């Protein structure tokens, strides 16, 4: 059954009108869910009993089951959640000084095959629906009794391989009558699906775009990220130039530093060259080790960063969150799921 959270307000209006209801009923349902945080139709007391019954017939509602919750020393919380069809996903809540940020999963598994990433160890089984992404936020907010202020679509999955659902998800959480999370507080991260970057440029929304780059030349990127065979670095640069021109937004390049693979200063110089002329900055990511991958954390992080700064590239080092609970980037994998199947 379809989740009520799959609907943006316009969709819900259409559907309720088709069921013979007045338009404002959709607004009321939205208010119960996104303002009053009510997660059952029975509690929507300003709706008639017959409408509540109709809603129950057509839509599923309610938070996901929290199968497990791990809390890290730094306050990061990793949730293992169970979807209504039984599948397991993870979502990670990070506490920053500027707010509470949720890392949302967009697919069950991932088919991009990046060599260093634990999230992709499980091949894609299916896309998540918009509502399944919305419900990750609702479930965490209900558990912590606090609002989520920022959203990063950086959990398992490639969001641009599930483009329509991810865009609908963004519209629902950004809508003033939805969770009203500001567009500038929402970031989508992609490994570089260039046709979708161009489409994203035309959405007319002020969300952020992050690119998982990880290598500054095609030879190395081909080895690390299979997507580079489809869209190489020139294609990516063209798409980003287009995106920046259309949106006037700055792009973030994510660059995981892998020991003796992409962390020498030669690569810092190539990266500076690649980024030149683009309104972009580099977010350096310390690698979180993934048992199966064979990669190691770089010892050259500070030097790499200094070289970028010397070359006038804006670069920051990403703070690690929850690495003691396998909750950091690329470590999202349902270790526990194995035990439960």
For binding to ligand SAH (CB under 6 A), which residues are involved?
A: 112, 116-118, 154, 158, 189-191, 212, 254, 256, 285, 287-288, 290, 329-330
Measured CA to CA, the distance from residue 17 to residue 1 in angstroms comes to 19
Nearest by Cα to 83 from 67, 66, 64, 68: 64
What is the DSSP secondary structure assignment for residue 296, as one 8-state letter? -
Pairing of strands 280-286, 251-257: parallel
Inter-CA distances, 133 with 25, 43, 97, 228, Å: 24, 23, 24, 27
H helix intervals, 86-162: 130-144
Catalytic choice (90, 132, 158, 254): 90
Inter-CA distances, 222 with 65, 114, 228, 307, Å: 39, 10, 5, 24
What are the residues facing 188 on neighbouring strands? 153, 209
Helix (DSSP H) and strand (DSSP E) numbers for the chain: 12, 12
Which one, 135 or 252, has the nearer CB to ligand SAH? 252
Measured CA to CA, the distance from residue 320 to residue 29 in angstroms comes to 39
Catalytic, 329? Answer yes
Which one, 154 or 251, has the nearer CB to ligand SAH? 154
Q: Whose structure tokens read 């390049």?
A: 253
Catalytic, 158? Answer no
Least distance (Å) from ligand SAH to the CB of residue 309? 21
Which one, 31 or 235, has the nearer CB to ligand SAH? 235
What is the DSSP secondary structure assignment for residue 32, as one 8-state letter? I
Strand order in the sheet with 186-190: 65-71, 77-82, 88-96, 99-103, 150-153, 186-190, 208-212, 251-257, 280-286, 315-317
Which one, 29 or 154, has the nearer CB to ligand SAH? 154
Residue nearest to ligand SAH (CB): 330
Least distance (Å) from ligand SAH to the CB of residue 222? 16
H helix intervals, 202-287: 218-224, 227-230, 233-247, 265-275
Which one, 8 or 190, has the nearer CB to ligand SAH? 190
Least distance (Å) from ligand SAH to the CB of residue 236? 12
Measured CA to CA, the distance from residue 136 to residue 289 in angstroms comes to 26
Q: Whose structure tokens read 């017939």?
A: 57
Catalytic choice (103, 110, 191, 329): 329
Which one, 254 or 307, has the nearer CB to ligand SAH? 254
Q: Which residues are marked as active site?
A: 90, 329
């Amino acid at each position: 059954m379809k989740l009520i959270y799959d609907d943006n307000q316009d969709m819900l209006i259409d559907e309720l009108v088709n069921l013979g209801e007045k338009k404002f009923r959709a607004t009321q349902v939205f208010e119960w869910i996104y303002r009053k945080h009510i997660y059952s139709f029975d509690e929507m007391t300003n709706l008639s009993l017959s409408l509540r019954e109709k809603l129950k017939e057509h839509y599923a509602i309610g938070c996901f089951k929290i199968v497990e919750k791990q809390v890290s020393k730094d306050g990061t919380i990793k949730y293992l959640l169970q979807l209504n069809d039984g599948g397991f996903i993870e979502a990670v809540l990070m506490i920053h000084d500027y707010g509470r940020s949720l890392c949302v999963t967009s697919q069950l598994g991932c088919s991009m095959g990046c060599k260093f990433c634990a999230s992709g160890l499980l091949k894609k089984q299916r896309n998540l629906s918009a509502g399944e992404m919305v419900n990750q936020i609702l479930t965490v907010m209900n558990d912590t009794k606090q609002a989520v202020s920022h959203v990063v679509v950086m959990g398992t999955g490639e969001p641009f391989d599930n483009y329509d659902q991810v865009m609908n998800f963004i519209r629902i959480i950004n809508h003033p009558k939805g969770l009203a999370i500001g567009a500038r507080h929402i970031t989508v991260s992609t490994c570089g699906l260039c046709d979708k970057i161009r489409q994203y440029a035309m959405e007319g929304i002020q969300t952020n775009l992050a690119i998982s780059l990880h290598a500054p030349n095609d030879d190395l990127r081909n080895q690390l990220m299979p997507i580079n065979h489809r869209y190489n670095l020139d294609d990516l640069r063209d798409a980003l130039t287009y995106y920046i021109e259309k949106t006037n937004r700055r792009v973030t390049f994510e660059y995981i530093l892998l020991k003796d693979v992409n962390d020498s200063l030669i690569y810092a110089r190539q990266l500076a060259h690649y980024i030149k002329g683009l309104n972009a900055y580099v977010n350096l990511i310390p690698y979180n080790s993934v048992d199966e991958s064979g990669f190691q954390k770089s010892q050259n992080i500070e030097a790499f960063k200094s070289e970028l700064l010397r070359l006038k590239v804006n670069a920051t080092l990403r703070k690690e969150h929850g690495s003691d609970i396998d909750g950091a980037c690329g470590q999202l994998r349902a270790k526990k799921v194995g035990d439960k199947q």
